[in-house]
Structure 1
Amino acid sequence: MIKIVKFGGSSVASSQQFQKVKDIVLADDSRRFVVVSASGKVNKDDNKITDLLYLCHAHIKYNISCDHIFNMIEERFLTIKKELNLSYDIQKDLDLLRSQLDKNIDLDYLVSRGEYLTALLLAEHLGYEFVDAKDLIFFNYDGSIDYKKIKEAFDKIVNDYPRLVIPGFYGSLPDGTLRIMSRGGGDVSGSIMANVVDANVYENWTDVSGILKADPRIVKKPKQIEVITYSELRELSYMGASVLHEEAIFPVKHKNIPIHILNTNDPTSAGTIIVDTVEDEEANGNEITGIAGKKDFSIITVKKSHMSNEVGTIKNALDVLEKYSVSIEHLPTGVDSFSIVVESEAIKPILYDVLLQIKEKCKPNELTVIDNISLIATVSRFMKSKTGMSGRLFTTLGRENINISVISQTSDEMNIIVGVHNDDYERTIKAIYDEFEGNKGESK
């Protein structure tokens, strides 16, 4: 049994959190390989180390001293070392980093030091061997992961050191240059390692007890999701649910390695298990897996008589958006019309240019834009086998006098996406949750 365990920033924010991590790791002998993020916020008014490092770089760029910011970083690590009575000379690493704070410092290198320093202290605290991610996580120049090279490096290291602590969030390119991932990339690092070692499970420890069926800021005490498929999680993550970095799914998906979301502050909680498929599963009262959404979309609608008899009208419009690198969220169509749903922020600076070119290429009878639209996804792997779920959803929204601007559902019937006005965003999520979960949760 091998478990890859990854701890997020909140799990290593203080010496007290370090001790919780140690208790968790040492409680299970299969937790041999630990991936760790940079130290996060101690409390809501505190700062994440990664944010402070980004801020240092911004100050350096504009010739502003970042000494006061770096002092905060230094104090965090020195406090953890002192309170845990660690012997590693982290002051030496901090002094070196301070001496490198000039305009020549590489952003990826600077920002990666949060994970690097945190992992050094955690390795000593656990009694595990520290391995720099640059010597273990390798990327090709196109950003893809070099699994073969990672496997070869890992096999050499693990022969000498069977228990490892690895910084998350970064690796190296073929020329040795450091490369960081997008924010939350430590989740991806853990997933890569789970793939390489063929782990039985990838435990992702954070500050929440799994994934909830709805945003707790909107729905009071929403039910926790016990089991969710990778595909369902992708749908929820894309629409705003952010417990796990959405790219963390891919390295483990094809090997069907489960991801277990767990709470460092409540280690006995069951958490949420993420798997590729669930065989022969009964719904057992679980009609929906979860609800998630995003605000601020725009709908461009093209109306043209006899459009169904023409070839290329929709393609011409999409070519315009591709020219401006605008991602399309949804594309509902009718006989003589189609609508393109895009993020308002992406289209706003170029809207008039886009509309002008669509007019020229498509020659529509009517071209309109609607703003302030929210997209809300209701996700469920049970949707295909249970009749009437769509009807219940639309009936519920009708009863609540919520007008629907867009409806989208793919043939796999895993989710239903509705577009409503931003003003109806919270009300829509509450209504859908109450309809399918009833008294299992309580709306605010």
Structure 2
Amino acid sequence: MKVVKFGGSSLADGAQFEKVINIITRDADRRVVVPSAPGKRFSGDIKVTDLFITFAEKTISGADLSEIKQTILKRYTDILDYFKIEDATFVNMLKNELDQLNRIHYPSFDYLFAAFTGHGEYFNAQLLARILNHLGHPAKFVRPDTIGIVVNGTPRAAAIVPACYDTMQQVTLDDQVITVVPGFCAFDADGLMVTFSRGGSDITGAILARGLQADLYENFTDVSAIYTVNPNLVPNPQKIKTMTFREMRELSYAGFSVFHDEAILPVIETNVKINVKNTNDPSAPGTMIVPTSAVDEKTVSPVTGIATDARFAAIYIHRYLLNKEVGFTLKILEILAKHGVSYEHMPSGIDDMTIIFDKSLVSEEQIQAVCSEIEETVHPNELDLIPEFAIMMVVGEGMHVYHNAPAKILTALSDANINVGMINMGASEISLMLGIDTHKIDEATKIIYQQFFN
């Protein structure tokens, strides 16, 4: 049995829906389908999820909602029209639920946003099941909680309860019916709709692949494979045929947008392989993501991929002999915790420490408060806020076999007069993390690509 997830671009309009349905029905093993909300149909278009965000914002501000609700509903009815389906009952059901969204009392704005944005997938799953049945392919819409997905955590960053996997293994699915489960959204213990974090449909697909003990998790997107580097930087980069779970995790963390890094976690323990494929070119083999045990060390390349991300900032602390002061790092961690700031990395030396954090997760006020308290508490000789900090991940299972790979990378950057502000090689020895000036990061990426893939 296969669990199949389709991204927003794969379901943007009726023509894309038709491609998806052809893919699903072409393989009898594709029994569980996870759709995202409709994405952009053309350049300049608006994703349905973004329309729901606008709907939520207008609800909070008390603005008129008639136009935005009509715009959202039309995205779904246009797809029905493409298949020449006239179903007033189904359309009224969508309309009534849309009308109810802004009338419900939510415990907080986070719950409100979760409910609104989660309905993009919730509606689309119902729509896909309706169209499949219309075309003669028996299908059933199933809520995440009905199939055994139990979550806790916060409304917009739900976390799977591990115990639910045992429950899901007891679920019996009808082999003659296509089960359609909405991605991204889930329900908490009080029955309120919540959502996973960004890329949440990937997470839903991975949870179902593990819980239902799938043979394969197929993730359909709009590219024919995962590339070794961002194709916007390097024209026609090499495609990755096979990569490991941990390679994907490392690369996703630093900017590989094809696959959400958290979505790897549910399948790692059960070793369910993932096949990333293209909805617009389904015959292409795509990229297989497999356990480390499935690759041969003798045949792996030193570098599988290069990823970069400039979403970071850093706080640099200089104080003489800070390494001799017992509890110095603890004081810093307590300050970060007090102000709700999670750090990504904290490289340090005998007199220096750098705290690297994700700018997208914190406010300017939080950072200023952290800097002020560090000044008051540890009295550094120097404290600087570095507002722009880019991280590059050079990743490959073969890196610990080809011991000269890190030297080759650093020499190439040195020859190009590109300074490396931070170097960190993970204990797994399959990744090299580099901190590089944001203005030099693209140039650095191209140089390293040439070293290994030219």
TM-score normalized by the length of structure 2 = 0.88
Mapped pair 1:232 → 2:247: yes
- 1:441 matched to which residue of 2? none
**8 Å CA contact 1:138, 1:174 repeated in 2:** no
- 1:119 matched to which residue of 2? 125
**8 Å CA contact 1:206, 1:264 repeated in 2:** yes
Change (3 A) 1:436 1:25: same
Q: CA deviation at 1:30?
A: 0.7
**Correspondent of 1:411 among 412, 421, 427:** 427
- 1:14 matched to which residue of 2? 13
**Correspondent of 2:331 among 294, 305, 316:** 316
AA aligned opposite 1:200: D
Change (3 A) 1:281 1:63: same
Change (3 A) 1:81 1:312: same
1:28-47 equivalences in 2 (<5 Å): 28-47=27-46
Q: CA deviation at 1:175?
A: 2.9
**8 Å CA contact 1:135, 1:172 repeated in 2:** no
Quote the Cα distance in structure 1 between the aligned partners of 2:390 and 2:168: 46
- 1:69 matched to which residue of 2? 68
**8 Å CA contact 1:211, 1:225 repeated in 2:** yes
- 2:91 matched to which residue of 1? 91
- 2:291 matched to which residue of 1? 276
Change (3 A) 1:410 1:44: same
Quote the Cα distance in structure 1 between the aligned partners of 2:436 and 2:207: 38
Quote the Cα distance in structure 1 between the aligned partners of 2:312 and 2:167: 46
Mean alpha-carbon deviation: is it higher for 383-392 or for 138-147? 138-147
The SS at the match of 1:383 is: helix
**RMSD across aligned positions (CA):** 2.5
- 2:256 matched to which residue of 1? 241
What's the CA shift string for 1:7-48, capped at 9, x where partnerless?
111112112111111211111111111111122221122222
- 2:109 matched to which residue of 1? none
**8 Å CA contact 2:165, 2:210 repeated in 1:** no
Mapped pair 1:306 → 2:305: no
Quote the Cα distance in structure 1 between the aligned partners of 2:159 and 2:226: 28
Quote the Cα distance in structure 1 between the aligned partners of 2:418 and 2:276: 34
1:7-406 equivalences in 2 (<5 Å): 7-86=6-85, 88=87, 89-104=89-104, 107=112, 108-126=114-132, 127=137, 128-142=139-153, 143-146=158-161, 152=167, 155=170, 158=173, 162-279=177-294, 281-282=296-297, 284=299, 286-295=301-310, 297-343=312-358, 346=362, 348-406=364-422
Q: CA deviation at 1:153?
A: 6.8
Quote the Cα distance in structure 2 between the aligned partners of 1:160 and 1:154: 15
AA aligned opposite 1:114: G
AA aligned opposite 2:433: I
Quote the Cα distance in structure 1 between the aligned partners of 2:445 and 2:393: 9
**8 Å CA contact 2:391, 2:433 repeated in 1:** yes
Change (3 A) 1:422 1:56: same
Mean alpha-carbon deviation: is it higher for 385-394 or for 170-179? 170-179
The SS at the match of 1:423 is: coil
Q: CA deviation at 1:401?
A: 0.9
Q: CA deviation at 1:338?
A: 2.5
What's the CA shift string for 1:380-422, capped at 9, x where partnerless?
1111111111111111001111112111122221211111211
Q: CA deviation at 1:319?
A: 2.4
Change (3 A) 1:280 1:302: same
**8 Å CA contact 2:148, 2:167 repeated in 1:** no
Mean alpha-carbon deviation: is it higher for 39-48 or for 266-275? 39-48
Change (3 A) 1:217 1:146: same
Quote the Cα distance in structure 2 between the aligned partners of 1:15 and 1:350: 45
Q: CA deviation at 1:325?
A: 2.1
**8 Å CA contact 2:171, 2:212 repeated in 1:** no
**8 Å CA contact 1:288, 1:382 repeated in 2:** yes
Quote the Cα distance in structure 1 between the aligned partners of 2:201 and 2:359: 30
- Aligned-residue sequence identity (percent) comes to 33
- Which sections of structure 2, spanning at least 5 residues, go unmatched? 107-111
Quote the Cα distance in structure 2 between the aligned partners of 1:124 and 1:297: 43
Quote the Cα distance in structure 2 between the aligned partners of 1:146 and 1:421: 40
Q: CA deviation at 1:60?
A: 1.6
Mean alpha-carbon deviation: is it higher for 262-271 or for 227-236? 227-236
Q: Number of matched residues?
A: 437
Mean alpha-carbon deviation: is it higher for 21-30 or for 301-310? 301-310
**8 Å CA contact 1:86, 1:124 repeated in 2:** no
Q: CA deviation at 1:132?
A: 2.7
TM-score normalized by the length of structure 1 = 0.90
**8 Å CA contact 1:61, 1:103 repeated in 2:** no
**8 Å CA contact 2:339, 2:369 repeated in 1:** no
AA aligned opposite 2:274: I
Change (3 A) 1:30 1:302: same
The SS at the match of 1:29 is: coil
Quote the Cα distance in structure 2 between the aligned partners of 1:254 and 1:153: 15
Quote the Cα distance in structure 2 between the aligned partners of 1:64 and 1:366: 48
Quote the Cα distance in structure 2 between the aligned partners of 1:331 and 1:247: 21
**8 Å CA contact 1:296, 1:371 repeated in 2:** no
Change (3 A) 1:212 1:353: same
AA aligned opposite 2:249: R
Quote the Cα distance in structure 1 between the aligned partners of 2:161 and 2:317: 44
Mapped pair 1:422 → 2:438: yes
Q: CA deviation at 1:279?
A: 3.9
Mean alpha-carbon deviation: is it higher for 369-378 or for 400-409? 369-378
What's the CA shift string for 1:213-233, capped at 9, x where partnerless?
111111111111111222111
